[in-house]
Amino acid sequence: MESFLDWDAHRLTAALTTRALSATEVMRATLERIAQVNPAANAIVSLRGDDALMVEAAAADAGAVKGPLHGVPLAVKDLANVAGLPTTMGSPALADQIATTSDIMVQRMQDAGAIVIGKTNTPEFGLGSNTFNPLFGITENALAPGMTAGGSSGGAAVALAHRMVCLADGSDMMGSLRNPAGWNGVYGHRPTWGLVPGNAAGDLFAHPLSTLGPMARCPQDIALLLDVQAGPDPRLPFGRASAGFARKLGADVTGRRIAWLGDWGGAYPMEAGVLDSAAGALAHLEASGCTVEPADPPFPAAALWEAWTTLRAWSVAASLRPLYEDSATRDRLKPEAIWEIERGLALSGQEIQRASALRSDWFRATARFFDRFDAFVLPTAQCWPFPADMHWPHEIAGVRMDSYHRWMEVVIPVSLIGLPCLAVPIPGPRPMGLQIAARQGNDLGALQLGAAWHRQIPSSHP
């Protein structure tokens, strides 16, 4: 018998806002589901007490409908602040840090009626695409037990796949909304920079790389949450207005031109079967009326990698330097974090300027590319999910990976210049996904293609 926990979020939220379902019913079922599956899945951490959550759900039932997420239980990625809850970022150095205020994205979800039940697990500081950390341990793949969930939004993807939540937030610097979505049979959208505001702290201008965004089990639910999260924050530059995405997903995509970039002309090593899985799945876009054609890489992969690794190390060093320089916390940082920090601190101004110039060249190249195509597609990862106790793959297709994140190089074309990109799950015996990337600002176009994709595929949910 189908449970309302199996419903897509737009159906569940409609039932909650019309009072066909009570927030108390939904919260009780959610907590029961978490008690059943989370001890093994380890997706939700810092879970609030049942009594406090039931009181909050009862208050939602007794009060007015606050917004489109009225009464929806939600767990927030453990990189974002929720007032009164720990923000550990998976690090022993921050184990006792309690947030005093909610970040604006979180506050928007709470103002829309969501009830935050806890946090979702993440790698330490979100570094690496395997969700494990010394505080909470490993989050395993929802579709392939014993394998990695991906990351850094691995806890969010697994919580969605196991029906512990119907919506989830995430963040994406290097595929963190896309890789775990593809590996757990759900959807993750990396928005155009500025569409979903981040935390208004620290430097606001220099070389943004990461963004916040939604995850869900279908594109309609992605749009539902994105409409809540999106919109400018006057404390931040480069804000973008929401486009009312949920109302516009049913567009006919017939005639849209899609570029298949595969392994970027052989530049990205791929584990056996990954390219075949992704290329075969392109038939779902063709069945929607799109024209899919192979395309030559529009920019050198080596230049993308140089720009990315320079700017990423510089960004990580800027954010984690205080912990690195404090003797009480430095020894508690994982080796990958220390590697990034030390590399970032050693960079010269000229190296950073060169990386920025390369990024600018890539942005100009995409402007020309999108004059020919409406979107381009790539796999969400270069390998299948690997064992969860392996920190990262050191070799793919006989090629040695020279850093802890080289095996995720396929996500860099999107990340480097902040393109909107929806990760969609590929049906099949092994978990994999496809990135659908569009021109900057054309989040709606990417989501419409994802909605057309979703209509073509059988359910890939666990």
- Determine the Cα–Cα distance for residues 415 and 334; give it in Å rounded to an integer: 23
Contact status, residue 349 vs residue 147, Cβ threshold 8 Å? no
Angle between helix 443-456 and 219-229 (nearest 10):
150
Contact status, residue 359 vs residue 311, Cβ threshold 8 Å? yes
Please report where in the chains the tokens 């890789």 appear, as a residue: 179
Residue 341's H or E segment, with its range, is helix 335-345
DSSP string, 217-239: SSHHHHHHHHHHH-S--TTSSS-
DSSP string, 352-364: HHHHHHHHHHHHH
User: Which amino acid is residue 461, in one-letter code?
Assistant: H
- Determine the Cα–Cα distance for residues 340 and 347; give it in Å rounded to an integer: 11
User: 243 φ, ψ to 5°?
Assistant: -105, 10
Which tokens in the block code for residue 322?
């205080």
Active site residues: 77, 152, 176
Please report where in the chains the tokens 């709606």 appear, as a residue: 444
- Determine the Cα–Cα distance for residues 111 and 67; give it in Å rounded to an integer: 7
- Determine the Cα–Cα distance for residues 344 and 336; give it in Å rounded to an integer: 12
Closest by CA to 225, choosing from 347, 79, 67, is 67
Which tokens in the block code for residue 86?
């720990």
